[in-house]
Amino acid sequence: MRDGADVVVRGRAGPNARVVLRGTDGAAVAVAADAAGRFELRVPVGTGDLRLTPEVQVGEDAAPSPETLVLIGGGAGPLLLIASGEPTRRLDGRGVLDAVDSDGAAVILSGRTAGDLPNVLIDGARISVMRGPEGAWRATAPGGGTAVIEVDGARFAFPGFGAQSDFTPVRAGDGWRLTWPTGQSGRQTAWLPDRRS
């Protein structure tokens, strides 16, 4: 979550493990988890975008996460976790639609709910929705071009996926678009709709 000039990252790791967030420039912030595994890190941010790789260290062993923490606009934009082949996880509040991910062949819509699974439509066609852990849901459909997405009646003008440099977030329609490499020749793109009040 955002807290003034910092972004606060809270979570759980192994009891007394060392938790590290390492930037692409090698700079890192670290903290030790408590006996119950809880930790809190304060990440000083500027105005630029940040990519941080989480890592847990226990004794001499270090385990980097397959996920990357991305802070768009120094935390002023979306806060998210990305991983190859997985739906993007938004950390900046709640909305009926968190993200639309694509590898060029299909789209994955994702979000969270405290109750029933949402009703999801793409260009008026109903899409099957699957429940995930802790209130997460996802819906998969072919394509990746412009479309009108509806989630429980909330409409989103999805701009589709266009060419973009790796890890350079850009405004796209009423949201942000981010593309990153997935292996030797693959790419994954996420569209992150603006949060609505």
pLDDT at 197 over 80: no
Name the token pair of 147.
């479309």
In terms of Cα–Cα distance, which of 192, 161, 166, 164 is closest to 181? Answer: 166
Go through the chain and tell me how many residues it has: 197
- CA-derived radius of gyration, the chain: 17
Report pLDDT digits (tens) over 23-50: 988 889 999 999 999 999 998 887 889 9
Q: What is the pLDDT of residue 161?
A: 84
> 95-193 — its CATH code?
2.60.40
> 2-73 — its CATH code?
2.60.40.10
> pTM of the entire structure?
0.89
CATH 2.60.40.10 domain residues, the chain: 2-73
User: How far is Cα 139 from Cα 120, in angstroms, rounded to an integer?
Assistant: 8
Report pLDDT digits (tens) over 8-28: 999 999 999 999 999 988 889
Report pLDDT digits (tens) over 104-152: 888 999 999 988 999 999 999 999 999 998 889 999 999 888 999 999 9
User: How far is Cα 94 from Cα 154, in angstroms, rounded to an integer?
Assistant: 14
Q: What is the pLDDT of residue 176?
A: 95
